[in-house]
Structures are given as structure tokens and as C-alpha cells.
């Protein structure tokens, strides 16, 4: 049986849950490049809202999930700090789409990822990570703050939960396929 391999990017700001999402949904032990946050990052990495964070991705996270007998997703998580953004072009090359993780405690950390995928016209969805319970903002408020057009799906997830993360991935694949069909028409 021939399988289709699909490359997906998991992006977002520092501490939004990218490594957690890849780890929760991957059917293989994920490859991570996490390092301990040190005093050298003080004043460089903005830990406001994620003060308890002790590790950070410095290159990428990698995982794999089979979503149907003929489709395998390869997941590439980006580093969140701007000093590692040079990696994004390499990680996004050949991707069919991206999930931009959103932490509503730090919405501004999502702006660069949204801008990145809009500029490259790469299909993406915004996924509000509800790590800490219910979100106090409505979909309309989040869409407005992120300046998301109506064509960009907005989903809610808990990156720690496999099923929740899997549903976000399925939403992205459907969105990317629909965009591809529009271009082909």
C-alpha cells in the first residue's frame, strides 16, 4: 500500500505548547532539542506568563502520526524564541500547512507566527491552547486580536491531550486540502 507523507509545522511563541503537542500525539518517541533555560537567557527570553518554564526548544521537535491507513503526518515543531527563528524557513520548506498555537495569556507571542504563514501563503489554523482551563475570550475577540480572516480556522485544544491535538491536526489537513482544491480549480 502506498502511503502519502504530509509535512506539518507546529509553530507559535515561546511557551505555547509546541513540544507538548508533538509529544502528546506522536506515535513514536518524539525527537526534541530542548535545553535548560539558564541565566544567560535572562533579559533575552520573555518568560512573562510562563515563569515556571525550565526548558526550551533550540532547533526543532519531530514526531509522526498515522491519521489513516494511507496518510502519515510528519510533525516539525519550531523553536519559539525570536533568536531561533532562522530555523523556521528550513522547517517550513515543503510543509502543506501549520498549526499556530495560541496562548491567550500572551497573545502577542502569536503575532509573528501568524504573520510568517500569511506572508508565505502557507495554509494554517490558529489553535488556542487551553492548558489552564477555560479561555476567558470569545472566538470573535481572539480573531480580532490576531487579525485572522474568516478563512483561517480557529480551534480549541489542550496540547497535553492526544485526541484534542489529533483533532487540530485533522482540522489543519482538511483546511490545507480545501485550499489546494481552490487553487487547482
How confident is the prediction along the chain (185 residues), in pLDDT tens digits per residue? 688 899 999 999 888 899 999 999 999 987 776 656 555 455 555 555 555 555 555 557 899 999 888 989 999 998 766 656 677 888 899 999 999 999 888 888 899 999 999 999 999 999 999 876 777 889 999 999 999 999 999 999 999 999 999 999 999 999 999 987 777 66
Considering only CA atoms, give the Rg of the chain: 16
- pTM (2 decimals)? 0.84
Length of the chain: 185
DSSP state of 184: H
Domain that holds residue 45: 4-184
Instruction: Tell me if 122 sits within 8 A of 136, measured CB to CB.
Output: no
Look at the chain and report how many structural domains it folds into: 1
Domain with 136 in it: what CATH number? 3.40.50.300
Tell me, what's the pLDDT at 91? 85
Amino acid at each position: 500500500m502506498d502511503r502519502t507523507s504530509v509535512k506539518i509545522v507546529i509553530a507559535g511563541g515561546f511557551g505555547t505548547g509546541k513540544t507538548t503537542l508533538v509529544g502528546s500525539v506522536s506515535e513514536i518517541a518524539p525527537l526534541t532539542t530542548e535545553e535548560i533555560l539558564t541565566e544567560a537567557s535572562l533579559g533575552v527570553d520573555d518568560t512573562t506568563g510562563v515563569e515556571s518554564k525550565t526548558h526550551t526548544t533550540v532547533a526543532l521537535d519531530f514526531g509522526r502520526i498515522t491519521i489513516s491507513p494511507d496518510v502519515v503526518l510528519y510533525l516539525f515543531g519550531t523553536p519559539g524564541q525570536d533568536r531561533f527563528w532562522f530555523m523556521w524557513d528550513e522547517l517550513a520548506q515543503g510543509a502543506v500547512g501549520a498549526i499556530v498555537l495560541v496562548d491567550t495569556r500572551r497573545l502577542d507571542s502569536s503575532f509573528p507566527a501568524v504573520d510568517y504563514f500569511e506572508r508565505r501563503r502557507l495554509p494554517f489554523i490558529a489553535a488556542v491552547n487551553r492548558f489552564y482551563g477555560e479561555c476567558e475570550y470569545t472566538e470573535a475577540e481572539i480573531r480580532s486580536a490576531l487579525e485572522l480572516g474568516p478563512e483561517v480556522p480557529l480551534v480549541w485544544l489542550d496540547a497535553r491531550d492526544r485526541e484534542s491535538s489529533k483533532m487540530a491536526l485533522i482540522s489543519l489537513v482538511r483546511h490545507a486540502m480545501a485550499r489546494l482544491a481552490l487553487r487547482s480549480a
